[in-house]
Amino acid sequence: MAGENRTPEGEIPEEELERRLRALDDKLDRNREIRAEAQKSRPDNSGFGNALRLSTEFVSAVLVGAAIGWGIDKVSGYPPWGMIFFLLLGFVAGVINVMRAAGTMADPHRKGFEPKAAPKKAAPLDDEDEDE
Amino acid sequence: MSNDPIHQFQISKLIPLDFNGLDLSFTNSSLFMVATVTAASGFLVWATSGRGLVPGRMQSIAEMSYEFVASTLRDAAGTQGMKFFPLVFSLFMFVLVANLFGMFPYFFTVTSHIIVTFALAMLVILTVIIYGFWKHGLHFLGLFVPSGVPGALLPLVVLIEVISFLSRPISLSVRLFANMLAGHITLKVFAGFVTSLSALGAVGIGGAILPLAMAVALTGLEFLVAFLQAYVFAVLTCMYLNDALHPGH
Amino acid sequence: MFISNAWAEEQSGAHSSTDGATHTETGAVHDAGHGGVFPPFDPASFASQLLWLAITFGVFYLLMARIAIPRISSILEVRRDRISQDLDEANRMREEADAAHAAYEHELAEARKNATAIAQKANDEAKAAAEAERQKTEAGLAEKLAEAEARIAGIRAKALGDVDEIAAGTAETIVKELLGGTVTKADLAKAVSEAAKQGA
């Protein structure tokens, strides 16, 4: 324990104790605030990294759509239709992926995440607009 | 020694091992995987061996990386997600150290091969799928059915969600692979510029300053990207694991 | 990204030595002609990479899960517990100090209150004693005074009585001397008292 600032009887004066306790409380609060703020930061904020991330989200969705389409074409007997359909779907999924990743759309897969400037989604009617 | 940028990604066999026609040699890639694991685990185990109440510098670094991954996982997946912490932590440390090892000259970058990153991404997705089905049974498929969709559009929406889900391992792996590949190729190209320019005599050497500066800047960027890509891999892993824990919309 | 096309001119042959390069025990780095396959997309290396990745990552996972993570989490937990314990201790001590301080203040106020009471009491006592003393002295003096007065009255009465006798004796002598007769004592006393009555 610190030995500074003791009275001749060896006791730490009351004000010193008060001051130290208050300093500790302040430091703990500030620490908690800092940690809470740091946790709020979203991943991938740098421009280059974000750009690459969004583009890969899009491309991978198209690729998966193409792969599924190609597989379905091999199984079924109608050659191009599966590919076309699933390529289109892949395209849409890619766009949705990008919008979710960019924050333009709400991502139900992400905890407590809300779109940046979107009105409260109340009506359930035209939810997933295809040709966005 | 070849001067082209692709040469650095060559797999070379160090200890050839043939298993029934299947090539399982110990390659330079394997060597650096071993080096990554050794370095990462060695550092962590050694730094925490003192178990100091007031941590030294190395122990602080170990603790900070632990806290970093733990808070990321807790934010994305809640306290239930902490059961996946060893997996996420191992992934993060492995990718990070592998990326950083690649920054040294003449060292092989393990994560610059699509098969490696794809394997890691599939590990995550398979964990999500298996755990999701094991924990929630068929309700796990509720992941693909967002709330508030009119019945007519439902099949289409479900298909799109499935495609989106399946695109995850692809995007996860391609992102990391593409970043590492592109970074190293660019670095090699600029380094090639430096050497080819400086071969042109005095003017060349003067002109070689520019690509040299570029190479230095790129190296700095590559270090940042190494950290960032490891972080993004870990964060997305946490988010996908959250889907396994809470699939319902 | 598909630079393998751009480097096509470097290849000696198209796909001669790429597929199933399993049995080529070169053990050395391919030189200029890497067979034209972009190494990350070269399936020949996939099996080996997968296997060694599985092995190394598996080992790493075990090391983390069994050793490193429990260690770090225990360190953090010990520290957290210690900090909260120390904080509690500090709070408790602070409360004790507060209580001691309050007790001290209380004692001081009490003592001060007592002091004034004691002083007051001493004052009263002194005053009472002084009063008693005074009264005693006064009483003594009054007594003496009364006694003196009584003596004076006695002397006076005696003196007055003597005056009568002296007057009678003087009157007898005068009568004897002047008139040559004698007078009885009773007649003398009567005359004196009558004169006294008239004169006094």
Instruction: Tell me whether residue B87 is in a domain.
Output: yes
pLDDT computed for residue A102 by the predictor? 79
Least confident of A71-85, C44-58, C185-199: C185-199
| Residues on chain B touching A127 (C-beta within 8 angstroms) | 146, 148-150, 153
Quickly tell me which residue has 């001051």 as its tokens. A19
Among the partner-chain residues C32, C34, C75, the one whose CB lies closest to the CB of B48 is C75
| Residues on chain B touching C85 (C-beta within 8 angstroms) | none
DSSP letter string, B6-45: GGGG---EEE--EETTEE--EEHHHHHHHHHHHHHHHHHH
| Residues on chain C touching A26 (C-beta within 8 angstroms) | none
State in Å, rounded, how far the first CA of chain C is from the last one: 165
| Domain count for chain B | 1
Shortest distance between the Cα of A69 and any Cα of chain C, in A, equals 22
* pLDDT tens digits for range A33-88: 665 555 444 455 556 667 777 888 898 999 999 988 888 888 877 778 888 888 99
pLDDT computed for residue B237 by the predictor? 92
State in Å, rounded, how far the first CA of chain B is from the last one: 56
Instruction: Tell me whether residue C172 is in a domain.
Output: yes
Judge whether residue C50 has pLDDT over 50. yes
| Residues on chain B touching C67 (C-beta within 8 angstroms) | 41, 45
- Burial-class residue C134 by CB neighbours within 10 Å (0-12, 13-18, 19+): exposed
DSSP letter string, chain A: ---TT--TTS---HHHHHHHHHHHHHHHHHHHHHHHHHHHPPS--SHHHHHHHHHHHHHHHHHHHHHHHHHHHHHSS-HHHHHHHHHHHHHHHHHHHHHHHHTSS--TTSTT---TT-------TT-S-TT-
Judge whether residue A32 has pLDDT over 70. no
pLDDT computed for residue A118 by the predictor? 44
Please give the structure tokens belonging to residue A80.
């191009």
| Domain count for chain C | 1
Domain boundaries, chain A: 10-40, 47-102
Choose from C72, C77, C86 for mutation: most chain B CBs within 10 A. Answer: C72
Q: Is B156 in Cβ contact with A111 (below 8 Å)? A: no
Q: How confident is the model at residue B128 (pLDDT cuts 50, 70, 90)?
A: very high
pLDDT computed for residue B246 by the predictor? 82
Instruction: Tell me whether residue B130 is in a domain.
Output: yes
* pLDDT tens digits for range C6-33: 444 444 444 444 444 444 444 444 444 4
Residue predicted with more confidence, C98 or A111: C98
| Residues on chain A touching B230 (C-beta within 8 angstroms) | none
Q: Is C27 in Cβ contact with B33 (below 8 Å)? A: no
Judge whether residue C48 has pLDDT over 50. yes
Range of the domain at C179: 162-199
Least CA distance to A51: which residue of chain B? B175
CA-based nearest residue to B65, from B83, B41, B49, B84: B41
Helical spans, DSSP H, in B137-153: none
Residue predicted with more confidence, B21 or B101: B101
Q: How confident is the model at residue C193 (pLDDT cuts 50, 70, 90)?
A: confident
The dihedrals phi and psi of C152, each to the nearest 5 degrees, come to -65, -45
Q: Tell me, what amino acid is at C88?
A: D
Q: Is C59 in Cβ contact with B16 (below 8 Å)? A: no
Provide mean pLDDT across the span A8-29: 68
Among the partner-chain residues B12, B63, B114, the one whose CB lies closest to the CB of C76 is B63
Judge whether residue B97 has pLDDT over 90. yes
Least CA distance to A18: which residue of chain C? C94
The dihedrals phi and psi of B26, each to the nearest 5 degrees, come to -85, 105
* pLDDT tens digits for range C66-87: 998 888 989 999 999 999 999 9
Q: Is B175 in Cβ contact with A124 (below 8 Å)? A: no
Among the partner-chain residues B156, B167, B242, the one whose CB lies closest to the CB of A60 is B167
Instruction: Tell me whether residue C29 is in a domain.
Output: no
pTM of the full structure: 0.69
Mean pLDDT score of chain C? 80
Is B82 in the C-facing interface, judged by CB distances under 8 Å?
no
| Residues on chain A touching B75 (C-beta within 8 angstroms) | 39, 111
Q: Is B37 in Cβ contact with C64 (below 8 Å)? A: no
Least confident of A87-96, C19-28, C91-100, C168-177: C19-28
Judge whether residue B187 has pLDDT over 80. yes
Range of the domain at B209: 83-245
Instruction: Tell me whether residue B24 is in a domain.
Output: no
Provide mean pLDDT across the span C155-177: 84
How many angstroms separate the CA atoms of C39 and B2, rounded?
15
Least confident of A32-46, B155-169, C122-136: A32-46
* pLDDT tens digits for range B40-56: 999 999 888 888 888 88
Instruction: Tell me whether residue C195 is in a domain.
Output: yes
Is A93 in the B-facing interface, judged by CB distances under 8 Å?
yes
Among the partner-chain residues B157, B170, B229, the one whose CB lies closest to the CB of A60 is B170
CA-based nearest residue to B128, from B3, B9, B43, B242: B242
Q: Is C87 in Cβ contact with A17 (below 8 Å)? A: no
pLDDT computed for residue B201 by the predictor? 79
Is B141 in the A-facing interface, judged by CB distances under 8 Å?
no
Among the partner-chain residues B10, B16, B18, the one whose CB lies closest to the CB of C39 is B10
